[in-house]
Amino acid sequence: MDKPIYFDYAATAPVRREALEAMIQVLGQFGNPSSRYAYGREAAARVKADRETVAQALDCDPSEVCFTSCGTESDNWALRRGVELNRRKGKHIITTAMEHAAVLETCRDLERQGYEVTRLKPNRAGRITAEQVTAALRPDTALVSMMLVNNETGVVLPVRECVEAVKAVDASVLFHCDAVQGFLKTQPPLGKLGADLVAVSGHKIGAPKGVGALYIKKGVRLRPLLTGGGQEEGLRSGTEATAQIAAFAAAVRANLAETDRLERTCAIKNYTLAKLKEAVPKLEVISPGDAPHICAISLPGYKSEVVVRVLGDRGVCVSSGSACHKGKPSHVFAAMGLPRSWLDGALRLSFSPESTPEEADALVSALKDAAESLFTTLS
């Protein structure tokens, strides 16, 4: 198969060469970090160094970084144990209607256990304000969970401002941020958002799938989700995935070394959007995205699953929304109140610094052909 023309970096990014090399090296070292002999100590030292690297990227203390298996695990841990930590306050949770399923489905599960969830609705541009969050606060609010970068629109939510506003009203409310799409893509570093808990994931930044982390602010005494051998200072049992962790840290280092990566990503996104608007007049921009790597468009009246398939047949990979939607209209675009025809034809494009104008031109040409040849429900 030819190399795909890939515009779905928000679904997952290719494993970076540096990450692969680190992974292979550590796979050859095989020691268990809990073992007391040299092989074990060597593995433990490597994990310690890798934790320091991730902490540096988050701008926090290494003791505040706990490795997990993915962003979903980090979100689950933060929400389930976060509400438990604050159970004396009450059973009210505030989140947004446009979170990833890792948060929304966990909230739904907590509802089944007796929690009450307020889901804040974004405006037409996919934005939520600090005023909305503080207006929803109640004396029994235990936790607020708000994503940093929406994975379908690329909109950056004002998390730092919301944390400040919430804490000013009630400092005991825990604040969790799903920053899976924001890690190494936004400023300030995530450890400086002020949130108590921040979830990140490796495979969005060039590490392999199967590794993530949860930032737990010093002093937040979160109980473990996984109990067992007491790894990660007793916070997350399970033998450390040393090779994935090494690859995660290597991917972090490689990203940080590319100081112009965000400018390059943003430039190729803007180039693509400009070319698309020129070539496909029917196209609507749902969101140009504040984050450099994501934007959302629509071909109103078309079926995005069909467009995605037709583009896929030409080797062009885009998404009809989050990879987790499996053909259902996006809850994010629905929450924004977009008309049905826009929802049906919605596509997410996501970029990397390695995306090229030639690839963008191929996408534009494939989308133009699809718009001209496919059936539309609008005349």
Catalytic sites, residue numbers? 324
**Region for residue 337 given its phi and psi (left: phi exceeds 0; alpha: psi -120 to 50; beta: otherwise):** left
Q: Which of 201, 242, 255, 272 binds ligand PLP (CB under 6 A)?
A: 201
- The span of 87-95, 158-166, 174-182, 330-338 binding ligand PLP (CB under 6 A) equals 174-182
- Tell me whether residue 58 or residue 147 sits nearer to ligand PLP (CB atom): 147
Residue 128: alpha-carbon gap to chain centroid? 17
Phi, psi of 9 (to 5 degrees): -65, -20
Q: By three-state DSSP, how is residue 107 classified?
A: helix
Nearer CB in complex with ligand PLP: 151/255: 151
- CB nearer ligand PLP, residue 197 or residue 299: 197
For the CB of residue 369, give the shortest distance to ligand PLP in the complex, in Å.
Answer: 29
d(CA 237, CA 251): 24
224 binds ligand PLP (CB under 6 A): no
Number of residues that bind ligand PLP (CB under 6 A): 14
C-alpha distances out from residue 357 to 253, 351, 364, 367, Å: 26, 11, 10, 15
How many angstroms separate the CA atoms of 117 and 134, rounded?
15
Task: State the angle between helix axes of 101-112 and 71-85 in degrees (0 to 180), rounded to the nearest 10.
Answer: 40
Residue window 64-83: x/- pattern of binding to ligand PLP, with contact defined by CB under 6 A:
------xxx--x--------
* 100 part of the interface to ligand PLP, by CB under 6 A: yes
One residue of 53, 76, 181, 255 binding ligand PLP per CB under 6 A? 181
Q: Which residue is nearest to ligand PLP (CB)?
A: 71
Beta strands 141-145 and 174-178, pairing class: parallel
Longest dimension (CA), the chain: 73
3-state DSSP call for residue 19? helix
Residue 147 as a binder of ligand PLP (CB under 6 A): the answer is yes
Three-state DSSP state, 162: helix
What is the nearest approach in angstroms of ligand PLP to the Cβ of residue 321?
11
Task: Count how many Cα atoms sit within 13 Å of the Cα of residue 296 in the half-sphere of its side chain.
Answer: 29
Among positions 132, 141, 151, 287, the unique one binding ligand PLP when judged by CB under 6 A: 151
Q: Under the criterion CB under 6 A, does residue 360 sit at the interface with ligand PLP?
A: no
Nearest to 247 by CA among 201, 286, 281: 201
Least Å distance, CB 176 to ligand PLP, is 12
Q: H-helix or E-strand containing 77?
A: helix 71-85
By CB under 6 A, residue 180 contacts ligand PLP: yes
Q: Pick the closer one to ligand PLP by CB: 319 or 355.
A: 319
How far apart are the C-alpha atoms of 277 and 371, rounded to whole Å?
12
- Measured from the CB atom, the residue of 250 and 371 that comes closer to ligand PLP is 250
Nearer to ligand PLP, 127 or 203 (CB): 203
Binding site for ligand PLP (CB under 6 A): 70-72, 75, 100, 102, 147, 151, 178, 180-181, 201, 203, 212
